[in-house]
Amino acid sequence: MAKLGFVGLGIMGTPMAGHLIAAGHEVFLNTLGQVPKELIDAGGKACVTAADVTAEADTVFIMVPDTPQVDEVLFGENGIAGALTKGKIVVDMSSISPLATKEFAARINELGCEYIDAPVSGGEVGAKAASLTIMCGGSEAAFARVKPLFELMGGNITLVGGNGDGQTCKVANQIIVALTIEAVGEALLFASKAGADPAKVREALMGGFASSKILELHGDRMVKRTFDPGFRIELHQKDLNLALSNAREMGLSLPNTATAQELFNACAAHGGSAWDHSAMVKALEMLGNHEVA
């Protein structure tokens, strides 16, 4: 049984921490607000601060929304860094800036500790089912130590490279997901406007080369108009902002990523920041004055 910490218990962090507790590990917990009762009832131990978590745990997981929150959890008042002792491991499973991640890792390494960036794909459904894809950046030795814990939360677990490479992989993932949502939305909108049944079109396409998880899951959401998250548009906007801002720094053009971001921006402008990202189709529907149905 390992002594673990988990900071950040939102819609993703809560089930992920729950899997660690269910496996019999001693898990110390901290989050904004109250630690969920379900985790306490399962055997988790609430702590007042991230530093308190770190003092108890040998490996500390972080799952918070964005780069500034990771910075605060690590290096803010009562943060993780101030309570670290040599040999501990910090694992950031948030989706944040690859460049900031390299800086954070270097500062943690200076304290004699290991750092792994391990963003995930699979959303709330994957977190609950322990089927997340986990993209890791860090040393091979640290990855080997933490991999059995990752296996409690996900199934496709890859050490991509050094610190920052996990976050780079996640940004690439989010580019593909956004552009594929846009493609599925356009296809179903075209089919519906032409008079075909979009549900039947989706069913037919699932058997061909256009088949994808996004056509399967998000295409179904588009047809059935079920846009409760899931994965919120505002979070995907954050991820595409990382892609576009880092691309600018590298002198790289990502024209279709920019278009996808503008469609998300249109949804947000119509009150849709908290819609599931499959609701990007609503922006296409507004442009075409037609609803997939």
Catalytic residues: 170
Q: What span, in angstroms and rounded, lies between the C-alpha atoms of 292 and 199?
A: 9
Q: What are the residue ranges of helices labelled H in 78-212?
A: 98-109, 123-129, 140-150, 165-193, 198-205
Place of tokens 């920019």: 258
H/E run at residue 27 = strand 26-30
Q: How many angstroms separate the CA atoms of 36 and 175, rounded?
A: 32
- Please report, for residues 9, 16, 21, 234, 276, the alpha-carbon distance to residue 39 in angstroms, rounded to integers and kept in the order given: 10, 10, 8, 27, 26
Q: What is the C-alpha separation between 47 and 32, in angstroms, rounded? A: 11
Are 95 and 8 in contact by the 8 Å Cβ rule? The answer is no
Query: Whole-angstrom Cα distance, residue 262 to residue 111?
Result: 42
CB atoms within 10 A of CB 56: 16
Q: Which DSSP symbol is given to 85?
A: -
Smallest CA-to-CA distance from 170 within 224, 208, 122 is with 122
3-state secondary structure of 250: helix
In eight-state DSSP terms, residue 25 is -
Which amino acid appears at position 90 of this protein?
Answer: V
Give the β-pairing of 114-117 and 89-92: parallel
